[in-house]
Amino acid sequence: MFITLSVLFVPGKAWAYLDPGTGSMILQGLIAGLMGALFTIKIYWARIKNFFSRSKSGKEDDLKRDG
């Protein structure tokens, strides 16, 4: 039974190739994904940085007003 089913799932010859246009589309997709990930990291890093810098600057402003 297993041998019979395994024959069905073995791919035959596809006689296919990747032309330059397909390779270019794959490359563009990879670059777009990488740039999107970097942009997302940049946005969240700026939010985290601003969160911590606000808490420090708020304390400094209070000290300047009191002094």
3-state secondary structure 47-63: HHHHHHHHHHHHHHHHH
**Cα separation, 67 vs 65, whole angstroms:** 6
What is this structure's pTM? 0.52
Give the number of domains in the chain.
1
**Residue 52 belongs to what domain range?**
2-66
Percent of the chain with pLDDT over 90: 33
Tens digits of per-residue pLDDT, 8-32? 787 777 777 778 888 899 999 999 9
Q: What is the DSSP letter of 10?
A: S
